[in-house]
Structure 1
């Protein structure tokens, strides 16, 4: 009579035991933090599509001194198009859509007039963008930087830096 009761008691303990084990705690949400962004670029002197990985929250300049360039990619000075291809978290895990939408990339252009290339249809520097930067998201797709009627028009100016960050 006691054996079946002991057996039932042992089964209840075994079944109830795994319910009290912690499940990864706060590590779950760390996987969804964006760490790097893959950009697709085309330059004015090259028609090939270039894939470049940029770390988040770091401003990368186009003209680095070669000794200090390290592992940073060579970025084009006059891009014709740019777009966000992928946003990855830790260990290249894909992020959910709402987290990828928070990532914004910015290209900052040089303010000096010397870096401007003469372009038909643009007569004066007043018609150029005032702030000297272009921001885009993944939902914008591939952004054309060389079309006059585009919101992201650079007017032939040299890009000084690229930077990607996550908004809240």
Structure 2
């Protein structure tokens, strides 16, 4: 799990670039070039107090939030435990989307298994091949070849 999405890490709903830009704006608001060093630290401490208070408010709201699970399945229960409510909603929407897919095994050779994957209500099918020896999944989607390597990463255009 990436900690940026975790319940245990406060990010003020910002990505790293946003945090950097936002912090610059905050410091510009509180800190002025005319301030001496003592005044600088007083204002800096005030910035920290404000952010710590905001973190406590968000933590309290998160602890008081009861997430509604679409289904009582382990993957969603685990997601509800580790993700913030906002990220969990996105995760659950993705989970709901995969429930609309049908997967049919259409072939198997020594080390390769082939599947046809289609979305309910759509006529288009995709052929997906799993290579057991390399633990890679290959699929051609919209003329783009996609290869997932379960040992480390996802590559497009392979």
The TM-score range, normalised by the shorter chain, is under 0.3
Structure with the higher fraction of residues in helix conformation: 2
Higher-strand-fraction structure: 1
Point out which structure has higher relative CO (alpha carbons under 8 A, 6+ apart). 1
Rg larger in structure: 1
